[in-house]
């Protein structure tokens, strides 16, 4: 019999994560300095937000790797994995937590249970760790033994540092402030709002057995992830925006990959299911 999880039983503050996330937010405030402003830097930040949050997290971590909503060549999976690494979110923990979330959505065993409050669901849960946690072994076994995943998981900060050096030589101080710190803050919150706002605000099309909602503004900033009630009803669906007005940019990317033969066995709910 599977042991019942108790997420907060053994959790302690993770000071490494607290200082890192707090530091990223503080340094991002340098963007208000006149010397840190340039339109080029803003353009770089917007492009990297799409590349890391849209391509890396939403398309890669979420729809391909976590849910296997479509099948892609292994080399492409590793490219998407790398883009997710540049979002400074560790893949093994991210994927394991998301699978755990789906299994226990909005219950005490959900790592970001909305019933513990908006702040907890948005960011509070990230600031604690359980040194004895085995969720990676339980919920990410299929990837945790892959040496490429383990390598990128352990070298995540190195790649962020190399990106920062490249941006500095390309555009100086403004490119680093906007391309690294402002962009990471935007990436983090666009991801976190999927955990928090889409369990609190919006409308519900389906009874998914939890409190998930479809929230249009979260869908805009997270490349279609805001249609969260749809997603929880059909977790394996590669398309989250199921109505004509539910714009899903990640689904557009998947359709593009499908048209050139790089996405196959694309999972969608049938008309009868919807």
Per the prediction, the chain carries an average pLDDT of 95
At 116 the pLDDT is: 96
Per-domain boundaries in the chain: 12-259
pLDDT tens-digit series, residues 39-64: 999 999 999 999 999 999 999 999 99
In contact, 132 and 15? CB cutoff 8 Å? no
Global pTM value: 0.94
Cβ proximity of 52 and 83 under 8 Å: yes
Task: Tell me the β-bridge partners of 71.
Answer: 264
Can you give the pLDDT at residue 133?
A: 86
| Per-residue confidence (pLDDT) for residue 9, from 0 to 100 | 57
How many residues belong to the chain?
274
Q: What is the pLDDT of residues 105-133, one digit of tens each?
A: 999 999 999 999 999 999 999 999 988 88
- Both structure tokens of 27: 């340094």
How far is it, in rounded angstroms, from Cα 157 to Cα 214? 33
């Amino acid at each position: 019999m599977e042991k019942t999880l108790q997420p907060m039983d053994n959790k302690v503050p993770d000071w490494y994560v607290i200082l890192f996330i707090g530091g990223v937010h503080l340094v991002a405030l340098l963007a208000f300095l006149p010397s840190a402003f340039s339109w080029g830097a803003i353009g770089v930040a917007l492009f990297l937000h799409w590349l890391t949050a849209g391509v890396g997290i939403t398309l890669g971590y979420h729809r391909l790797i976590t849910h296997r909503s479509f099948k892609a060549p292994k080399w492409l999976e590793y490219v998407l994995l790398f883009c997710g690494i540049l979002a400074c979110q560790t893949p093994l923990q991210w994927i394991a937590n998301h699978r755990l979330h789906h299994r226990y959505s909005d219950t005490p065993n959900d790592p970001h249970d909305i019933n513990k409050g908006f702040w907890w669901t948005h960011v509070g849960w990230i600031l604690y760790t359980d040194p004895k946690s085995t969720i990676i072994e339980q919920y990410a076994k299929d990837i945790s033994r892959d040496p490429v995943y383990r390598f990128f998981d352990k070298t995540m900060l190195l790649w962020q540092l190399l990106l920062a050096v490249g941006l500095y030589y390309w555009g100086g101080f403004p490119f680093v402030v906007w391309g690294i710190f402002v962009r990471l803050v935007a990436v983090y919150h666009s991801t976190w709002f999927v955990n928090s706002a889409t369990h609190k605000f919006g409308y519900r099309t389906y009874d998914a057995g939890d409190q998930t909602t479809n929230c249009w503004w979260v869908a805009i900033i997270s490349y279609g992830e805001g249609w969260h009630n749809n997603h929880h009803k059909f977790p394996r669906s590669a398309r989250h925006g199921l109505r004509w007005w539910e714009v899903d940019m990640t689904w557009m990317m998947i359709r593009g990959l499908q048209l050139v033969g790089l996405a196959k066995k694309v999972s969608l709910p049938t008309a009868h299911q919807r």
